[in-house]
Amino acid sequence: MFNAVRRGPASIVKSASSPYPTRYLSFILPPPLTSKASRILPLLSTCNFSTFHVTRQRAAEAAITEDEIDHQVTAHDATRHGPVTRFIELQERGMVCPTVVKTLVEDMRLETMTHVQSLTINETLKGGDVLAQARTGTGKTLAFLIPVLQNIINYDPKLEQRGYRPKRASPEDIRAIIISPTRELAEQIGVEASKLTRNTGVIVQTAVGGTQKSAGLRAIKNQGCHILVGTPGRLNDILSDPYSEVRAPNLSAFVLDEADRLLDQGFAPAIEAIQKLLPARTEVDRQTLLFSATVPREVVQIARRIAKADVHYLRTVQEGEQQTHERVPQKVAVIRGLENQAPALVELCTREMARKDGVPFKAIIYLNATADVSLIASTLRNLKNPGESIYHKHPLHPARIIHIHARLTQRERTFAAETFRRADSAIMVSTDVTARGMDFPNVSHIIQIGLPQDRDTYIHRLGRTGRGDKTGEGWLILTDLEAREGHNRLHNLPLNEDKSLEVASVDMTQDAQLPEDVAKTLTQTIDASRMVPLDEKSASYHASLGIMRWAPARYMIQSLNNRAKYCWGMESPPKISSGLIGKLGLSRVPGVVRNEDRGSRFDGGRGGLSRDGGGQGSSFRGRGGGGGFSRDSGQRGGSFQGFSRDGGNREDSFRSGGARRDSFSQGDDRGGSFRRGGPSSDRNTYERSDPARRYDRTERSGGSGRNRPASRSFVDSY
Ligand SMILES: Nc1ncnc2c1ncn2[C@@H]1O[C@H](COP(=O)(O)OP(=O)(O)OP(=O)(O)O)[C@@H](O)[C@H]1O
């Protein structure tokens, strides 16, 4: 705290000539002084918002050591007035100009500061470097935007006037750079900054990947730019491009939102490169601000390198305290196998949609891979009530089903995010592109399927609900083994097992008599899954091979194969290329279907244009049965490649389709049945070919003892 005063940016000193009347300053006059401080008092009476920095300058003239000043000012600040808790006080105490406070109070209708705002704004206005940690959805964006804006106005007070434009806009006007890890978040911060600066002359520009670089550069050149918000890649690109003419020689603030993510291995090189393009801090002093809901210990160390060594680490969550909100209950549904995943999701969504508490169902479903997002979104879209056609009302009406991931075009991503933002009721299936920082209003449910990569990812995803003073709930759908692994990854979180999902525990590999609604959910989901194109299923299967590498290989393959067969309706699991089998160490794992055909479009989850016939009664059939994996020309003859147990040389057990059929039938009024074997003519019957009964009997899950960390390359990258 003391050092913050000492390190006010050089630019702030310039504000000594600010036009604000001293009435804004009366509240920051110091308490009765000690003999040393009394030498400073006369100087304070003429200062403005940046009193402390001016004090520093003048005190130097008065030959008083900086430490002494720090102590005086800090003691005064903390004891006499206490922390600022209302936005209006920022004006009353002369900390923030009236125009900005008016915008906050009248336009944005904000009155009371959140804890993190109260804690950090005061400190940040003084110019010190800050690393701030506060729970998700507690207003960190404004916590850094307000002081950044005020310091810009301090530098050039004319910018407080709306519409003020210098004679000529210059890219050199850039005073603050704000970086976020995702495009959507950068755009969101840009919008928030534009709202805040609306009544001032400060100009905000956004630079994110996936948009036209030239258009962005033109906007910066023609309109000017004081605050530049962007993603690491695009910022690096434009700052390093000699033709862009975008430089920031007067930069006074460098902000990393979601700092821990930006400082991890993925982004650190880009951040470092950007820093090298900025003026040396020895020549132009600048303030570094790092904000996040999660700050691992290593990040504190890195922060000390990227910021000044005496960076202030301000936390609203103390060590050992819960990082998630108490008002957001967190439930874990443990499912019997991966094949129960989609049915459990459908049951949960259907049930919560029907809740009569007046809160519209607005959910984000998080998955670990792009391919899983496509697959689950397609499955949800394909849902229909048994016996009804796709032209009937969708079972999840009125919720719109949206999906978003990094492989969409930027236009599609923005459209998806905006559609979800505006919707009253919607389901957005997403990778972690929306996990951090996104402020979608009124999200009622966060549903995470599969184990999140780590605890922090879980916390950020969950943080999309329960924002501000809102409530919400979190669900985590895990298999038994994932739940056990979850004990390590998700330690110290208030997760409670919830057994209310009926399909969660159904053994989908066996015949069973089931209550009607359970059978209905299964039928619906399996029908919908079968209609998903094969290439999406194959891509999801391959992605899971990477994501589940922490699990014993036998268990992993068995689980994935069961999902492919009993939920997706595939007669044979997708094939894996020899190269990938070798890379993942699966050559001796039972159940792996090796793809010997290098040219196959099913290899690696790409291609495979064949679509399951869809609708009731349709089924995949093996080659011998005609149809099915028609693109796979590698298999000659009429049989599926078997579930090899010895590296794929021996083919066994999988005969081509049509040998027998199973059904998940909805049954009659007395309840539904989940039957295997025997064709069914029932309109509500789900038929599934089961060419190899030995599939689930011959393979037992077992462990090869592998325990490798999940490979990032399989996980969606931002
Ligand atoms: N003082 C305040 N009073 C009421 N609402 C506020 C206040 N400050 C911010 N908000 C609102 O709270 C919501 C969450 O704010 P913000 O997105 O800044 O949270 P965050 O802490 O950055 O979250 P995350 O950790 O997820 O990035 C926004 O809708 C914002 O407008």
Span from the CA of 398 to the centroid of ligand 1 (angstroms): 28
Does residue 465's CB lie within 6 angstroms of at least one atom of ligand 1? no
pLDDT band of 673, cuts 50, 70, 90: very low
Average pLDDT over residues 703-714: 31
What's the full length of the chain, in residues? Answer: 718
Does residue 137's CB lie within 6 angstroms of at least one atom of ligand 1? yes
Q: In whole angstroms, give the CA distance from residue 704 to residue 552.
A: 5
Question: 333 by DSSP, 3-state: which?
Answer: strand
The CATH topology of domain 46-315 is Rossmann fold (3.40.50)
Sheet with 671-675, side-by-side order of all strands: 512-514, 671-675, 661-668, 685-689
Span from the CA of 169 to the centroid of ligand 1 (angstroms): 32
Q: In whole angstroms, give the CA distance from residue 535 to residue 533.
A: 5
The whole-number pLDDT of residue 31 equals: 30
Average pLDDT over residues 691-706: 29
Six-digit token pair at 449? 């399927």
Average pLDDT over residues 367-371: 97
**Between 182 and 709, the higher pLDDT residue:** 182
Average pLDDT over residues 83-98: 93
Does residue 113's CB lie within 6 angstroms of at least one atom of ligand 1? yes
Radius of gyration of the chain (CA): 30
Q: Per-residue pLDDT for 34 more than 60? A: no
The whole-number pLDDT of residue 272 equals: 92
User: What residue's CA is closest to ligand 1, atom 6?
Assistant: 139
Contact predicate 503/491, CB 8 Å: no
Closest CA to 529 of 505, 564, 503: 564
The owner of tokens 């693109």 is 631
**Between 549 and 613, the higher pLDDT residue:** 549
| pLDDT tens-digit readout, 450-481 | 999 999 999 999 999 999 889 999 999 999 99
Q: What is the DSSP-derived secondary structure letter of residue 86?
A: B
**b/e string for 235-262 if b means 16 or more Cβ within 10 A?**
bbbbbeeeebebbbebbbbbbbbbbbbb
The whole-number pLDDT of residue 485 equals: 92
Give strand pairing partners of 325. none
Q: Which backbone phi and psi does 206 adopt, to 5 degrees?
A: -120, 135
The whole-number pLDDT of residue 166 equals: 61
The whole-number pLDDT of residue 81 equals: 57
Its sign, for the CA torsion 552, 557, 562, 563, is: positive
Fold matches, 46-315 and 327-513: yes
| pLDDT tens-digit readout, 216-245 | 999 998 889 999 999 999 999 999 998 888
Does residue 672's CB lie within 6 angstroms of at least one atom of ligand 1? no
The whole-number pLDDT of residue 590 equals: 94
Q: Per-residue pLDDT for 61 more than 70? A: no
Question: 5 by DSSP, 3-state: which?
Answer: helix
Question: 362 by DSSP, 3-state: which?
Answer: strand
Question: 507 by DSSP, 3-state: which?
Answer: coil
Span from the CA of 136 to the centroid of ligand 1 (angstroms): 8
Q: In whole angstroms, give the CA distance from residue 349 to residue 85.
A: 40
Six-digit token pair at 430? 């997403």
Largest CA distance in the chain: 99
Average pLDDT over residues 637-641: 26
Average pLDDT over residues 182-207: 96
Residue 123: is it exposed, middle or buried by C-beta count within 10 angstroms (0-12/13-18/19+)?
buried
Span from the CA of 141 to the centroid of ligand 1 (angstroms): 6
Does residue 260's CB lie within 6 angstroms of at least one atom of ligand 1? no
| pLDDT tens-digit readout, 249-278 | 999 999 999 999 999 888 999 999 999 999
Q: In whole angstroms, give the CA distance from residue 260 to residue 272.
A: 14
Does residue 431's CB lie within 6 angstroms of at least one atom of ligand 1? no
SS (H, E, C) 553-614: HHHHHHHHHHHHHHHCCCCCCCCEEHHHHHHHCCCCCCCECEECCCCCCCHHHCCCCCCCCC
* E-state strands within 181-244: 204-207, 227-230
Q: In whole angstroms, give the CA distance from residue 501 to residue 346.
A: 10
The whole-number pLDDT of residue 74 equals: 35
User: What residue's CA is closest to ligand 1, atom 29?
Assistant: 439
pLDDT band of 17, cuts 50, 70, 90: very low
For residue 257, give the ligand 1 atom closest to its CA: 27
User: What residue's CA is closest to ligand 1, atom 20?
Assistant: 137
82-91, 298-307, 366-375, 419-428: which has the minimum mean pLDDT? 298-307
Contact predicate 259/225, CB 8 Å: no
Question: 178 by DSSP, 3-state: which?
Answer: strand
85-99, 486-500, 587-601: which has the minimum mean pLDDT? 587-601
Does residue 463's CB lie within 6 angstroms of at least one atom of ligand 1? yes
Question: 33 by DSSP, 3-state: which?
Answer: coil
Mutation to probe ligand 1, out of 140, 146, 182, 314 (largest number of atoms < 8 A from CB): 140
For residue 113, give the ligand 1 atom closest to its CA: 1
The whole-number pLDDT of residue 598 equals: 58
Does residue 138's CB lie within 6 angstroms of at least one atom of ligand 1? yes
Mutation to probe ligand 1, out of 142, 260, 315, 462 (largest number of atoms < 8 A from CB): 142
The whole-number pLDDT of residue 309 equals: 82
Q: Which helix (H) or strand (E) holds 666?
A: strand 661-668
Does residue 466's CB lie within 6 angstroms of at least one atom of ligand 1? no
For residue 138, give the ligand 1 atom closest to its CA: 21
Span from the CA of 46 to the centroid of ligand 1 (angstroms): 35
Q: In whole angstroms, give the CA distance from residue 624 to residue 636.
A: 10
| pLDDT tens-digit readout, 420-457 | 999 999 999 999 999 999 999 999 999 999 999 999 99
Give percent of the chain above pLDDT 90.
Answer: 57
The amino acid at 679 = P
The whole-number pLDDT of residue 169 equals: 64
Q: Per-residue pLDDT for 713 more than 70? A: no
Q: In whole angstroms, give the CA distance from residue 215 to residue 558.
A: 51
Residue 668: is it exposed, middle or buried by C-beta count within 10 angstroms (0-12/13-18/19+)?
exposed
**Between 57 and 374, the higher pLDDT residue:** 374
The amino acid at 547 = I
For residue 185, give the ligand 1 atom closest to its CA: 27
Cβ atoms within 10 Å, residue 591: 25
Query: ∠495-496-499 over CA atoms, to 5°?
Result: 140
Does residue 140's CB lie within 6 angstroms of at least one atom of ligand 1? yes
Span from the CA of 406 to the centroid of ligand 1 (angstroms): 25
Q: Which backbone phi and psi does 168 adopt, to 5 degrees?
A: -135, 125
The amino acid at 210 = G
**Between 55 and 592, the higher pLDDT residue:** 592
Does residue 467's CB lie within 6 angstroms of at least one atom of ligand 1? yes
Average pLDDT of the chain to the nearest whole number? 75
Does residue 293's CB lie within 6 angstroms of at least one atom of ligand 1? yes
| pLDDT tens-digit readout, 350-362 | 999 998 788 899 9
For residue 142, give the ligand 1 atom closest to its CA: 18
The owner of tokens 């609708």 is 615
Q: In whole angstroms, give the CA distance from residue 44 to residue 28.
A: 9
The whole-number pLDDT of residue 552 equals: 93
For residue 136, give the ligand 1 atom closest to its CA: 25
Contact predicate 575/534, CB 8 Å: no
The whole-number pLDDT of residue 654 equals: 26
Q: Label the pairing between strands 130-133 and 287-292.
A: parallel
User: What residue's CA is closest to ligand 1, atom 8?
Assistant: 139
Q: In whole angstroms, give the CA distance from residue 195 to residue 174.
A: 18
* Measured CA distances, 461 to 42, 264, 373, 490 (Å): 52, 18, 15, 13
Q: In whole angstroms, give the CA distance from residue 642 to residue 662.
A: 20
Is omega for the bond preceding 533 within 30 degrees of 0, making it cis? no
Contact predicate 294/436, CB 8 Å: no
User: What residue's CA is closest to ligand 1, atom 11?
Assistant: 139
Secondary structure of the chain: what % helix, strand, coil (to 5)? Answer: 40, 15, 45
The amino acid at 329 = P
Q: Per-residue pLDDT for 139 more than 50? A: yes
The amino acid at 501 = L
Contact predicate 249/279, CB 8 Å: yes
Sorted by sequence, the CB contacts under 8 Å of residue 669 that are 6+ apart come out as 516
Closest CA to 717 of 188, 270, 290, 363: 270
Give strand pairing partners of 133. 292, 315
Q: Label the pairing between strands 130-133 and 671-675.
A: unpaired
User: What residue's CA is closest to ligand 1, atom 14?
Assistant: 137
C-alpha torsion 437→443→449→451, nearest 10: 40
Q: Per-residue pLDDT for 687 more than 80? A: no
Average pLDDT over residues 522-541: 96
Average pLDDT over residues 672-687: 36
Q: In whole angstroms, give the CA distance from residue 617 to residue 680.
A: 9
Please report which residue ranges of 370-468 form alpha helices under DSSP H: 370-382, 410-422, 455-462
Please report which residue ranges of 132-206 form alpha helices under DSSP H: 140-155, 183-197
Q: In whole angstroms, give the CA distance from residue 161 to residue 141.
A: 23
Q: Per-residue pLDDT for 642 more than 60? A: no
Q: Label the pairing between strands 176-179 and 227-230.
A: parallel
The owner of tokens 């890219």 is 171
Contact predicate 556/451, CB 8 Å: no
Domain 327-513 has CATH 3.40.50.300: yes
| pLDDT tens-digit readout, 237-250 | 999 998 888 889 99
What are the structural domain ranges in the chain?
1-43, 46-315, 327-513
pLDDT band of 57, cuts 50, 70, 90: very low
